[in-house]
Structures are given as structure tokens and as C-alpha cells.
Amino acid sequence: MSTSYQFDHLVLLVGTNPLPNYIVAKYFILNNNSPFQIHLICSRRNESIGQQGTLNIAQNLKNVLTKEFPEQIIKLSVELNDASDAQSIFQDMGKLDSFLQNHNSSWHLNYTGGTKSMAVHVHRYMNQRKDQLRSLTFSYLDSRSMQLKFDDSTLHAPVDMLHPQLNIELDSLLLLHGYQKVGDYRLPKESEVWGCIEKTQRAQLYEYKLKYLAQDQNPELEEVKNYISNHFSGALSVDINCLAESLTKHGFWLEWYIYDTLEKLKELSSYKDLYQLHINIKAIKAPQNDIISGNTGIKEKEFEIDVLLLKGYQLWNISCGKNDEKELKYKAIEAIHRAMQMGGEEARAVLACLLNGKRRDAFKNDIVNITGNISGNFELIDVVDLTQPGQLEKILQQLIF
């Protein structure tokens, strides 16, 4: 993170996922030797060609960056009328000509975002003006290696972008996509009780539950109440009935089991500052983005995330469920959708559930066939993984840490 750069103008292409733009902008703001202007290139809504437009997304990006770096000059410089047409892109990019006429200026284009056509033709447009500038460089954020790579590798070596300095806060991540946490949201009571008891007490209750699951059984409600009363004898300052119901009827115990396991692995990591962990998030469209979706007349609904882990800017969305396959398929599809929506290609989705291990392969194949998910960004944790001693830690260690 100590490499320094020198340019006056940074050009970013804004597509449907602004997270890579945020990370790239933040990296250069922290590492540029002098102030520079950021030019956001987005697309306008054009119903005649079915183009939804990314102006709102560009505005979200500008708002988040301005809040974090108030001294930074950020402009919505170009709105493309047709983000797939070379001639139209070149014509609209002419709005940058007044800036490019300064022969003493240095420019950098990061072409990670936007459509492939935007990347190709904006790159070409800028390159054609290279001779009239003091300098012009290019880069992109590689989603596979999580590295910032430069077209001219002799100038700058690839940069690892998973770094605590580039972490993004949950509120900023949501706002990038036009969402915000529900301000007055409280955890469901059956989940809240788990957060009110000691971690060691939660661990004892997980162990009790998992012993039954290993035998393909579920303890009766009264039996659980008796167990809690006998083993904790007044040590719990929560509603025992509610806690017992959560352990038998609801899935909230599983969310907390996953959360506690992740927190343990995080604390053991040599890079624990890289990780952020959240449980039971509820988000809704921010007021300025509470818009009608398409022409359906239906506003986007709020959504919930069971467990969320951020590894730098890489997102892990972990959804928890029981063993009803119809419900689990919905949860898996929703988890994949939200992971990709909020985190892009680098994001991963995990479904932790009580599905019988024999159905594992068939279930995963169904999800792949339904979603077309072949990039390996979905993982299933079944009841066998949960009940075998040490298996859950091993899986999460390999997947994330």
C-alpha cells in the first residue's frame, strides 16, 4: 500500500456494481501524491434500446466517496446514451474534451466497471488522445486475483487489494447500492435472546442441539426447557421459553452458531483487521433511491441477511435454514442474488442448513441449474458438516480464511 502515483484526473466506468469503483477510487485517493479529479462515466436510461442506466448508481458512488473524502472533487462527467454502441460512446465522451485539451494534465483510466463495450471504446477514445497529454495510464481490478493490474506492468506491478485500509463499512456498502439499514429494526426475539447470553453458554446449547441432529432427531420443547433450567439454574437473564423455542422450532440458533464460529476463526487469523462480521441485517431502499422498478409499479422490497462477512471488500453472504427443500432453494437463490448484487463477481454465497447429507449433490446441482451458477461462488453446508466435530470450522477456514 506504499506505492505512489501521480495524475490529475481519474476516469471510472460505472456499471451495475459500484463496489470495484469505490475500492479503486479509495486506493488512489490514499496513494496519490496530489489532489485529483474523479470523472464518473455512466449510462443514462434509454427505454428505446432497453438500457436501464446507471446514473443513480454513479450518484450513490459519488455520495459515498464524498462523505468519506469531502475534499475530493468528483464529477458525473459523462452520461452515455447507448453504452453498447461505439459511435455513440465516442460522441458522448466528447464532453471530456474540454478537460483533455490541457496538454499539461495527467490521466488514468480504470476500466473495471461498465459494459465490455464501454471498456473497449472508452479505452480507445482515451488512447487516441494520449499524445496531447503529459501522461496517460490504464488499470483494471481483476476479480479473480483481487489485484489491481496495470496495462503497462513495467510502470507498476500488480497491487493486492485485500487490505484493511481498503475495507468498506457495511453502511457504505449498502448506500453504494441505494440501501440503508432499517433504523428502528430490532432482532426477532428468538434471535435477540442468543445475543444476550454468554458465548460459552451458547456453545453449550449448540453442542446439546447438535447431538440430537447427529442422530437425526430434534429435542422436544419441554425437554429443552428442562435442560436449560437444570444446567444454567438462573444464570440466564433471558426468557427461557423463548430460548427453548428458538432451539427447537426456529433457525436462529444456527445463525448464531455460524456467527460464533466465524468470529472464533477471525480472532485466530493473523489478518483479523481485514474481517468485518455482522448478523441479522435488515435493509431497505434509501429515500433518494426509493424508486419504481421498471414499469411494474412495484417498489423494491426490503431484504434481510442472516450472517454477513466482509473480507476486505470481498463479501460472504451466509443464509441459514432448516431442511425443507422448497424453502431452502428459495434461500439459496436469494443468497446468491444478494451476494452478487452487493459484492459483484468477487462475492460468495453460502447456505447452512439441516439438509440430509445424501441430498447434498442433487440439491447443489438443482441450484446450479436454476441459477446458471457455474463460477463456484456458492457453497452448501449440510447437517453432516454441522454435526461432525470440527468439520464446520474446517470448511469455513478453507472457504474464507
Question: What is the C-alpha separation between 277 and 169, in angstroms, rounded?
Answer: 11
Residue 308 has pLDDT above 70, yes or no: yes
Label residue 30 by pLDDT band (50, 70, 90): very high
Question: What is the C-alpha separation between 401 and 389, in angstroms, rounded?
Answer: 19
Is 117 contained in some domain? Answer: yes
Identify the DSSP state of 372.
T
Range scoring the smallest mean pLDDT among 19-33, 161-175, 229-243, 354-368: 229-243
Mean pLDDT of the chain: 90
Judged by phi (left if over 0) then psi (alpha if -120 to 50, else beta), residue 238 lies in beta
Starting from the edge strand earliest in sequence, which strands make up the sheet with 159-160, in order? 73-80, 37-43, 9-13, 106-110, 135-142, 147-150, 159-160
Identity at 173, one-letter amino acid code = L
On whether both 155 and 257 belong to a single domain, the answer is no
Kindly report the CATH number assigned to the domain that includes residue 41.
3.40.50.10770
Is 145 contained in some domain? Answer: yes
Residue 32 has pLDDT above 70, yes or no: yes
Is the torsion defined by CA of 27, 339, 192, 282 positive or negative?
positive
pLDDT digits (tens, 9 = 90+) for 54-106: 999 999 999 999 999 999 999 999 999 999 999 999 999 999 998 888 878 99
Is 172 contained in some domain? Answer: no
CB atoms within 10 A of CB 385: 19
On whether both 113 and 206 belong to a single domain, the answer is no
Question: What is the C-alpha separation between 4 and 1, in angstroms, rounded?
Answer: 9
When pLDDT is averaged across residues 247-253 and rounded to a whole number, the result is 84
Residue 292 has pLDDT above 50, yes or no: no
Q: What is the pLDDT of residue 291?
A: 42
Domain boundary among 166, 194, 227: 166
- Considering only CA atoms, which of 56, 67, 120 is closest in space to residue 290? 56
Is 2 contained in some domain? Answer: no
Higher pLDDT, 249 or 115: 115
On whether both 129 and 61 belong to a single domain, the answer is yes
Q: Are 314 and 347 in contact (CB under 8 A)?
A: yes
Q: What is the pLDDT of residue 85?
A: 95
On whether both 15 and 104 belong to a single domain, the answer is yes
Name the CA radius of gyration of the chain, rounded.
Answer: 24
In three-state secondary structure terms, 122 is helix
Identify the DSSP state of 302.
P
Q: What is the pLDDT of residue 300?
A: 58
- Considering only CA atoms, which of 240, 339, 362, 235 is closest in space to residue 281? 339
Place of cell 429494526: 185
pTM of the model: 0.90
Domain boundary among 132, 166, 200: 166
**Displacement of CA 363 from its chain's centroid (Å):** 24
In three-state secondary structure terms, 85 is coil
% of the chain residues with pLDDT over 90 = 73
Is 68 contained in some domain? Answer: yes
On whether both 208 and 251 belong to a single domain, the answer is yes
Q: What is the pLDDT of residue 290?
A: 46
The count of domains in the chain is 2
On whether both 74 and 124 belong to a single domain, the answer is yes
- Considering only CA atoms, which of 379, 380, 336 is closest in space to residue 356? 380
Is 177 contained in some domain? Answer: no
Residue 302 has pLDDT above 50, yes or no: yes
Range ranked top by mean pLDDT from 31-40, 183-192, 267-276 = 267-276
Residue 187 has pLDDT above 90, yes or no: no
Is 315 contained in some domain? Answer: yes
On whether both 228 and 87 belong to a single domain, the answer is no
On whether both 191 and 50 belong to a single domain, the answer is no
On whether both 130 and 203 belong to a single domain, the answer is no
Domain containing 249: what range?
182-401
pLDDT digits (tens, 9 = 90+) for 121-158: 999 999 999 998 999 999 999 998 999 999 988 778 89
Q: Is 32 exposed, middle or buried (0-12, 13-18, 19+ CB in 10 A)?
A: middle
Is 31 contained in some domain? Answer: yes
On whether both 334 and 376 belong to a single domain, the answer is yes
Q: What is the pLDDT of residue 4?
A: 64
- Considering only CA atoms, which of 141, 11, 168 is closest in space to residue 75? 11
Domain boundary among 102, 137, 166: 166
Range scoring the smallest mean pLDDT among 237-246, 249-258, 275-284, 368-377: 368-377
CB atoms within 10 A of CB 299: 12
Label residue 293 by pLDDT band (50, 70, 90): very low
Place of cell 479503486: 24
Residue 23 has pLDDT above 50, yes or no: yes
On whether both 136 and 284 belong to a single domain, the answer is no
CB neighbour list of residue 358: distance below 8 Å, 6 or more residues apart? none
When pLDDT is averaged across residues 260-283 and rounded to a whole number, the result is 95
On whether both 44 and 187 belong to a single domain, the answer is no
Kindly report the CATH number assigned to the domain that includes residue 216.
3.40.1350.10
